[in-house]
Amino acid sequence: MASGVNLSQWVHIPLGTTLLIYGIVITIMNQILIGHFSRWRFFSNLLFVLPFSYFVEWFTYLWDWVGVPDASLPIRIILDLIGLATVAAAVSIYQRANILMHPNDDLSYILRFKYLKGSAIWGQWLSYSPPVIIMVISYLATGHLSAVGFGTFWALATQGGFMQWSDAHVFKRLKHHVNFG
């Protein structure tokens, strides 16, 4: 999300639209990585990213209205930790359910199971490469970064590990259905 915020501010396009375009680009990249066109994967990624992109923008306004950006640092860190752990568990669940996935989560899934022998940690780290590159380019173009803080670094460092832990401990009966068709 931090890369989306920075890209949005750099190109002066609303956050929801920026995230949608970003999602479309990652959807296409996913098709390239699996090595063929998968109609289901392509359209399910788009079906997920369309409302999600605009919900993120709406929730940004909600969190601003509630006052989260003005909360004390310890409160924001606690919210980051809870939010990121919850997101990791949720991604673990819906990757194993394998119904619809956000293109970024599908990217980490493809990397994890097609190229990295099932490593959630490496899959997540590599899937963060495009956002990190976008943040670097945004910084070089504008001279500043927004929405980069503790949560960004915590996610980069721990999200894959939390996902891997969740695979083993949250809804243990769900299993990965590795399918690149």
pTM of the full structure: 0.89
Domain boundary assignment for the chain: 2-169
Position of tokens 């022998």? 117
Q: Which residue from 123, 109, 102 is spatially nearest to 24, judged by alpha carbons?
A: 102
pLDDT tens profile 67-96: 999 999 999 999 999 999 999 999 999 999
Summarised one tens digit per residue, pLDDT across range 5-53 is 999 999 999 999 999 999 999 999 999 999 999 999 999 999 999 999 9
Give the end-to-end CA distance of the chain in Å, rounded to a whole number. Answer: 28
